[in-house]
Amino acid sequence: MSPSKEFLDALRKYDDYLIVAHENPDADSIGSMLGLYLGLKQLGKRCRVVTSDPIPSSLVWPHIDEIEGHSSIEDWDFRALIVLDCEITRTGSLKDFVTTIPVIFNVDHHPGNSQHADYKYHDSTEPATASMVYKILKGLDIAITPAIAYNVYGGIFGDTGGFRYANTTSEVLLVASELVELGADPAKISREIFETKSWNFMKLLGHALNNMEKNSSGEVAWMKLSNEDFRNFGVDPRETDQLVQYARMIEGVQIALLFRETEPNEVRIGFRSHQYDVRSLATKLGGGGHKLAAGARVSGELSSVIQQVVTETEKLLAHFRR
């Protein structure tokens, strides 16, 4: 679905924008923010891009150094806010500041997005927010420069798992083709997003694989990392949210889980499946996400959270098969 005329007209109307996305920014949120930022600047808008958390160091994307930290914006008087790839509640430490901005634009592809916004472009059939940004730029007749192409392609590549997930459509492959034509570098982007890991990360991965577990039927597999593991291996928990893919690779596994004790007594859970709606599980625990890839954050002791969630997961599987 393309953005409405009303949405595009409204974007033309305002002169200054603060562009934000969710905490712990990923390739899609970064590519979307920078793609839209560079595009709106072509229209003569004043724009700033701000995140609550550091950018992954492996991403060396055009204009990425123009993304600012939280402290640089508080004395600014923005007319309009653009929230990408999430609802305002997921903007981390930016939340209190951004809610003071009078006009809200929201662009997101997560199902269940209930953000109130003056102008909203929401489509859960889109593989990435970056593919929606592409449609906004086209709708505004903005020229896709090599820097924009790089960022938008990067966002799409990230959220489709490198064109491997079920959200990879023929439409998005055509968009990707055009973006490569216009200057995106597929090999470099692939390396930056999926194939640049620190030594410590690889050692932690080995530890996590060694300690992987499965239930008696072999249909639920899970990985766990304690707060102590992160300290011992010297790895930032934020680098590890994709580890769950290894549990999902196992033959016969229907639902894969990742448990990370990111703070003492706080467990982040990642849910993945090839076919079952794991978002319902995540939502039950106060989280959310996509049908086949979701997450939640709960407080509690690691082993008891694991026990409880594995039991819930087995119940869900039984329910789907009834």
Binding mask 157-196 for Mn ion (x = CB under 5 A): --x-------------------------------------
Distance, CA of 40 to CA of 46 (rounded, Å): 8
**Segment near Mn ion (CB under 5 A), from 51-59, 82-90, 170-178, 279-287?**
82-90
Cα–Cα nearest to 161, from 28, 308, 297, 285: 28
**Contact flag: residue 87 with Mn ion (CB under 5 A):** no
CB of 25 to Mn ion, least distance (A): 10
CB of 125 to Mn ion, least distance (A): 13
Distance, CA of 27 to CA of 158 (rounded, Å): 5
Nearer to Mn ion, 90 or 268 (CB): 90
Distance, CA of 291 to CA of 3 (rounded, Å): 23
Nearer to Mn ion, 248 or 290 (CB): 290
Nearer to Mn ion, 78 or 157 (CB): 157
**Contact flag: residue 28 with Mn ion (CB under 5 A):** yes
Residue nearest to Mn ion (CB): 28
Q: For residue 218, give the amino acid letter.
A: G
Nearer to Mn ion, 90 or 260 (CB): 90
DSSP 3-state assignment of 158? helix
CB of 171 to Mn ion, least distance (A): 16
Q: Pairing state of beta strands 103-108 and 80-84? A: parallel
Surface-to-core class of residue 148, CB atoms within 10 Å of its CB (0-12 exposed, 13-18 middle, 19+ buried) = buried
Which residues does 208 contact at the CB level (< 8 Å), separation at least 6? Answer: 223, 224, 225, 229, 243, 246
Strands, sheet with 293-299, edge to edge from the N-terminal-most edge strand = 213-214, 220-225, 255-263, 266-273, 293-299, 288-289
**Contact flag: residue 126 with Mn ion (CB under 5 A):** no
CB of 265 to Mn ion, least distance (A): 29
Nearer to Mn ion, 156 or 205 (CB): 156
- Which of 20, 51, 64, 85: binder of Mn ion (CB under 5 A)? 85
Nearer to Mn ion, 90 or 224 (CB): 90
CB of 109 to Mn ion, least distance (A): 6
Interacting residue ranges for Mn ion, rule: CB under 5 A: 28, 85, 129, 159
